[in-house]
Structure 1
């Protein structure tokens, strides 16, 4: 009973912590992409550092049961990395580069909807309309879809901010890369694709937890596989070595922070939550990051806030 009570507190607390990591990550990533950093370069380094961050936990907690995955297990780990790193994170970075932090965070609210629909279609989740929890889940899907459509399509009057704005705007304007255009249409398509990637990622983790239950070892191998895939794709897109050089600047800070907290720690926490509560549970907390990101995006980057958005 005590263990269940502790888990009922620790699970939501861990998901809130993941959202706090995400808030700072979105802003740092936007700044890094504005300075010309390539999305797959960021992904490759981020997951490499994430693997290094989780590996000590593997040695401490799972050294006795850690094993070399067989071919089937490697297949699931590779699919986990492809959906969670290449599709979910990679497409999100491209969408973030083409839009802004506030707009991109709004699409995180689509993840529970897409995850629910895909999970129901793949029979990973059951939606029972005759019971109250099934009706509430359907109501939640409709509410999230309606809210996201309003935020995406409706642009009302611009609001006056009660706080100082664009504290870092001069920095981002001076260092912004020519390719970082605000192409909202293409950016929106990338963000929608990212939502689909996250949906498959959450669902694959349910199967992966059954096939290969070593949580930390799976996280380490997923990070390594994701880093390798991102490196190969990044080289094919931009083979110039200058794109892969890191200096002691904002780009290095973004790589280290995202690798340790958002890839390493967050991946372990979300894998644990999916194993205990199912694929939809982590995505239910994505709305928490919206308000804080809107304020910080306006304060630091000077992004305008409109009524309805």
Structure 2
């Protein structure tokens, strides 16, 4: 009886690990946006910030990769190395420079809101590259598509709809007014920032897709994370020198907010997030990792309400409820994918047992032919 109970709790723990992983990612992303925006306002250069945070990630995670994966690390091949170089260019360099430069032109809230298009971009990219199972005629696939659109819509509601304030005991009585991004930046800068953030989201989605593909050939997550950050630091240094054209003052960092933002972002946003996202997408796919991205806005609203006493608007609460509904549809669709995969594998195993040739050696090849047809049919259905 105790063994059955222990096995049940072990099963629940295994099922809950991916959700704890994406929750950690969203907590890290939410706090990272606030911290980095404060440092950017104090003069942090987005290009050198990208270089330094990747260097810190290599320093922290490199020793763990060398020790824990010394026996698991596969041999490096040219195709894998080229994929790592492209991964480093997509997220540690292009996405970070574009995203944080766009944030500098706008606001942290606007940048976080724009990133809510990431689940939709990743979903359709994963669909195109057949990393996500989608069959329009299946109800659970329709649920994933509708859930993605609902989640993005809820994030937009949280951003652009205010509504009447909700009085809470721990918040301030007067309503806190947050000026829109256009009030702190010119319209040209605001448009430029929006374009940069959108381009960064495309790079970010492409990074997740390519990371899922690379992990199939190079499954050592810690080593892959370290190599991505190392190549990102090298490529970012070259790009910074080309963009800034020999400005030496941008490389100086003192013991202030800029140093803290770089350390936090390097450890949490680069190293830990790459590693955890790789672990999660190994079982759930790249879309599952990004589907919870709008949850970051909900976390920011709740944390700011308790810690800063900011007034909570009805629009934010409605948007949060819409996001929860969309996430529920996505989780439901993904769970049906897993159950269908498990049932299909069980059917194949059963057929293998029933059609195995007997040990008398009667020479009957028909069961092997049937088994091959079933396996080919299962592969064909899985790629739909």
TM-score by length of 1: 0.84
3-state SS of paired residue (2:287) = coil
- How far did 1:201 drift? 0.8
Computed over aligned residues only, the root mean square deviation of the Cα atoms, in angstroms, reads 2.9
Q: Distance in 2 between matches of 1:40 and 1:132?
A: 45
Specify the SS of the correspondent of 1:48: helix
Deviation by residue 1:100-135 (Cα, 9 ceiling, x = unmatched): 122211223211101111222233323211112101
Cα distance in 2 between the residues matched to 1:30 and 1:212:
35
Distance in 2 of aligned mates of 1:272 and 1:278:
10
CA distance, structure 1, for counterparts of residue 312 and residue 109 of structure 2 = 9
2:131 aligned counterpart, secondary structure? coil
Alignment pair present for 1:243 and 2:250: yes
Q: Which runs of 4+ in 1 moved over 6 A?
A: 297-307
Question: Which residue is equivalent to 1:222?
Answer: 228
- Residues 202 and 10 of structure 1, relative CA distance in 2, 3 Å threshold: same
Q: Which residue of 1 aligns with 2:198?
A: 192
Matched, 1:34 2:16: no
Correspondent of 1:132 among 125, 132, 139: 139
Structure 1 runs not aligned, ≥5 long: 166-179
Quick one: structure 1 residues 307 and 243, their matched pair in 2 at CA, closer, same or farther if it must change by over 3 Å? farther
CA shift at 1:64, angstroms?
A: 2.1
User: Compared with structure 1, are the counterparts of its residues 198 and 303 closer, same or farther at alpha carbon in structure 2 (3 Å cutoff)?
Assistant: farther
CA positional deviation for 1:160: 8.8
Trace 1:258-277 onto structure 2 (pairs within 5 A): 258-277=265-284
Cα contact 1:110–1:148 (8 A) shared by 2: no
Which residue of structure 2 lines up, in the alignment, with residue 172 of structure 1? none
Q: Distance in 1 between matches of 2:166 and 2:143?
A: 36
The answer (yes or no) to whether the contact 2:29–2:296 under 8 Å persists in 1 is: yes
TM-score, normalisation: structure 2: 0.69
Does the CA-based 8 Å contact 1:73-1:211 persist in structure 2?
yes
Choose the corresponding residue for 2:27, options 20, 25, 40. Answer: 20
The range that moved more, 298-307 or 223-232, is 298-307
Give the one of 38, 49, 58 matched to 2:56: 49
C-alpha change, 1:290 and 1:76, in structure 2 (3 Å) is: same
1:203 to 184, 202, 209: 209
CA displacement at 1:142 relative to structure 2:
2.4
Deviation, 1:59, is 2.2
Decide which moves more: 79-88 or 22-31: 79-88
Structure 1 residues 247 and 158: CA distance shift in structure 2, 3 A: farther
Higher alpha-carbon deviation: 143-152 or 218-227: 143-152
Task: Provide the C-alpha distance between the structure 2 equivalents of 1:100 and 1:205, rounded to a whole number of angstroms.
Answer: 29
Q: How far apart, CA to CA, are the structure 2 residues paired with 1:52 and 1:303?
A: 38
**Higher RCO structure (Cα 8 Å, ≥6 apart):** 1
Rg larger in structure: 2
Name the CA distance, whole Å, in 1 between partners of 2:18 and 2:138: 25
